[in-house]
Amino acid sequence: MAYTSPAVVIDNGSQTTRAGFASEDFPSLVYSSNYSVDSNNKVVIGDDEIDKHPENEIMTLLDNGLVYNWDNVIHNWQYAYDNLDSSSPIDPKEYPLMLTEPSWNTKKNKLISTQMAFETLEVPIFSLVKTPLAQLFHQSKATGLIVDIGSAITSITPILDGIIQTKAAMHSKYAGDFASLHSLNYLSQKVPSLDHLLPKPFISDLSNLKATASFKNFQITNKVVEEFRYSMLQVSELPATASHFSAPAKSFYLPYGENVQVQQEQFSLLEPLFQPSAFQLPNLSIPAPAFDKPATQGLTHIILSSLKALEASIIPQAVLENTANTSANSSHHARFNDILRELLSNILITGGTSLTPGLTQRVLHDLYKSVNQFFPNYLCTQPGRLVLNVLGNNQTNGNDVWDKKFGSWIGACNLASMLNSSNQENDNGASIALDNWYITKSEYEELGEDLILEKFK
């Protein structure tokens, strides 16, 4: 059966939440995933409301890309229902709900989110869709290498024929927030105190401002530091140490009027994304990169590590260790050669931080230089034969910005909209959507945990 009401799609990111109806082209709501709590334990959601209460503590919902604060995530979802229809509340009981989830989401989280959807919001049907699958689906592809560089997490996800290769999926915390820490460290050296980085209108009454430390940090990071990052910084095409960068100086004006000159820092402040341990931070221990610990590696190396793990998961270890050119070995290597060629020609670089100027070009440059060293035995990686192609990387297309920021939400909407098919052909699509991605309330009540873990595995 087809549903007449469009699904509500909520995409919880570490920095922002995107929400809207599946019938829309873009999310109608983009608001902070953080929230504040007042002295009476009232939860405050929404950027404007958070700004009105500097005396409140700022809290987070996600850690390592996963929801951990289940007591208050319901307020985040309810905020969407209260504001989706031009700030007029809608009834969750009347609309299907689809949430996104990272590929490393836990079974416990899947169970809790499903329980809250059916028992607290009382939605009629519910779905969890994996973020990288939604992003790739939006590109109309079934196979690809998803490089998602968000605020808190960078994740690498190989997908073959619509199936996430879990053993090769990797993620690290070297993402946008890590770059912001380096930017904040640099800016803090230019001002008498961190209060001088507070954005307007707070600086006009700074002496009387009774703001919590978490509120000040939230405002500085999400407004001043973010503006600095996106307006002043870019990624160098070639890796280098900080002393090798050279560029014409730019001026950045801080809220108090200080003029900060930014020269080699235009490049060096983003180099930690690629060489984390080479750029240390005060009061933060950054481990040396280790091949067997992908989360310690910079962006390019974690991509290569993901592909190396995929090779190990597809080709038997005995074949990898035996370099003799037997027919069995040739067959295994020929198969992975085709897989590697297809992944490298379908790279999707996405996430808000991926909009940084020069980042895509740097990734491609590094891969072109390094992939043959990691995979010397494959025809597709040989000099003159290597083809790297980035999906949706049309720099003249303004939609590319929205695709990178909202790609997972838009892809999830494409899946959710199948529920609203109206003709007989598309009605089959609605059945497919129900069979593969959704659980109805009656199914949940009858089959419970086993169905959840099977449907959302």
User: Is-contact 20 81, C-beta < 8 A?
Assistant: no
Share the mean pLDDT of the chain.
88
**Burial profile 143-162: b = 16 or more Cβ within 10 angstroms, e = fewer:** bbbbbbbbbbbbbbbbbbee
What string of DSSP letters covers 393-429? --TT-THHHHHHHHHHHHHHHHHHGGGG--SHHHHHH
Examine residue 138 and state whether it is found in any structural domain, yes or no. Answer: no
Burial class (CB in 10 A: 0-12, 13-18, 19+), 40: exposed
Query: Is there a domain that residue 56 lies in?
Result: yes
Domain at 227, CATH number? 3.90.640.10
Return the number of other C-beta atoms located less than 10 Å from residue 323's C-beta. Answer: 9
- Domain of residue 419 covers 8-131+408-455
**Per the domain annotation, does 373 fall within a domain?**
no
Within-domain flag for 236? yes
Q: How far apart are CA 280 and CA 378, in angstroms?
A: 37
Q: What does the pLDDT read at residue 395?
A: 46
| Number of domains present in the structure of the chain | 2
Residue 450 located in a structural domain: yes
Residue 261 in 3-state DSSP? strand
* pLDDT tens profile 211-237: 888 999 999 999 999 999 999 999 998
pLDDT, position 245: 63
Q: Has residue 142 been placed in a domain?
A: no
Report the candidate in 418, 365, 184 with the shortest Cα–Cα distance to residue 284: 184
The confidence score (pLDDT) of residue 418 equals 81
CATH, residue 91: 3.30.420.40
Other Cβ atoms within 10 Å of 177 Cβ, number: 17
| Encoded tokens for 295 | 């989360």
Amino acid present at 194: L
How far apart CA 88 and CA 67 sit, in angstroms, is: 27
For residue 333, what pLDDT is reported?
A: 84
Q: What is the structure's pLDDT at 87?
A: 78
Query: 132 — phi, psi (to 5°)?
Result: -65, -35
Domain-embedded: residue 168: no
Which whole-number Å values give the CA distances from 135 to 119, 142, 391, 406, in the listed order? 29, 10, 11, 9
Q: What DSSP element (H or E) covers 35?
A: strand 35-37
Other Cβ atoms closer than 10 A to 41: 6
Residue found under tokens 């996106």: 230
Summarised one tens digit per residue, pLDDT across range 15-61 is 999 999 999 999 999 999 999 998 888 999 999 999 989 899 999 99
Give the pLDDT score at 205.
56
Assess whether 118 and 186 both reside in one domain. no
* Cβ(166)–Cβ(309) below 8 Å: no
The residues facing 145 across adjacent strands are 158, 347
- Whether residue 29 sits in one domain with residue 122: yes
Q: Give the residue ranges of the chain where pLDDT is below 50.
A: 242, 327-328, 395-397, 422-426
Q: What is the per-residue pLDDT for 424? A: 41
Q: Strand 29-32 vs strand 16-21: parallel, antiparallel, or unpaired? A: antiparallel
Look at residues 278, 296, 330 and tell me which one is the last residue of a structural domain: 278
What distance in Å separates the CA atoms of residue 192 and residue 253, rounded to the nearest whole number?
A: 15
Of the candidates 278, 305, 336, which is a domain's last residue? 278
For tokens 């002043």, the residue is 232
Q: Cα(36)–Cα(44) distance, rounded to whole angstroms?
A: 5
Residues 124 and 227 both lie in one domain? no
Domain termination site, one of 257, 278, 299: 278
